[in-house]
């Protein structure tokens, strides 16, 4: 009798492990369905893991983080620059997301070249020539 109960417990744990593993491996986080606190944490975690030697492309970032909270673009004769702002720190509960609540990701010809305060400064220095 105890062997039968022990088998059922093991079977239940095995099924649980398979289901939990499947969710972890195959369920993709969708920023569009997250509440604002979860999305903010998700954005912050993604941006904090960026590395200079790993190229990131515009489409990949949009696919991972979803639509930006704010976006601006400039075009020069040779290049296109775009800065996407994702909220990473809540400041004031007024229903409006402002640049000071966000971290900027700057792209040059769809390739990520800067993020954080450096992105803001670099974007401001671009002239339309």
Most confident residue range from 24-33, 49-58, 62-71, 92-101:
62-71
Which has more confidence, 129 or 3?
Answer: 3
18 lies in some domain: no
Cα 124 to Cα 101: distance, rounded to the nearest angstrom: 18
Residue 1 lies in a domain: no
- Whether 62 maps to a domain, the answer reads yes
- 3 within some domain: no
**Whole-angstrom distance, CA of residue 107 vs CA of residue 84:** 8
How many domains is the chain built from?
1
Supply the CATH number for residue 69's domain.
Answer: 3.30.1450.10
Domain extent for 105: 31-125
Q: What DSSP state is assigned to residue 57?
A: B
Range with lowest mean pLDDT among 16-30, 66-80, 93-107, 111-125: 16-30
pLDDT of res. 69: 92
Q: Does 114 map to a domain?
A: yes
| Residue 120 placed within a domain | yes
- The pLDDT of residue 106 is above 80: yes
* Any domain includes 101: yes
Residue 8 lies in a domain: no
Average pLDDT in the 4-33 region? 82
What pLDDT digit, counting tens, does each position of 51-72 carry? 877 888 999 999 999 999 999 9
Judged against a pLDDT cut of 70, whether residue 129 lies above it is answered with no
Radius of gyration of the chain (CA): 21
| Selected residue with higher pLDDT from 42 and 34 | 42
Q: Is the whole model's pTM more than 0.85, yes or no? A: no
């Amino acid at each position: 009798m105890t062997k039968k109960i022990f088998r059922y417990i093991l079977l239940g744990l095995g099924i649980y492990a398979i289901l939990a593993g499947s969710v972890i491996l195959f369920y993709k986080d969708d920023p569009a369905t997250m509440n604002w606190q979860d999305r903010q944490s998700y954005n912050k975690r993604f941006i904090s893991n960026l590395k200079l030697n790993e190229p990131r492309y515009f489409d990949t970032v949009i696919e991972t983080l979803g639509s930006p909270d704010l976006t601006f673009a400039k075009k020069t004769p040779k290049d296109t620059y775009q800065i996407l702002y994702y909220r990473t720190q809540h400041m004031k509960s007024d229903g409006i997301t402002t640049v000071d609540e966000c971290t900027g990701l700057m792209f040059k010809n769809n390739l990520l070249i800067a993020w954080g305060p450096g992105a803001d400064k670099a974007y401001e220095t671009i002239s339309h020539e």
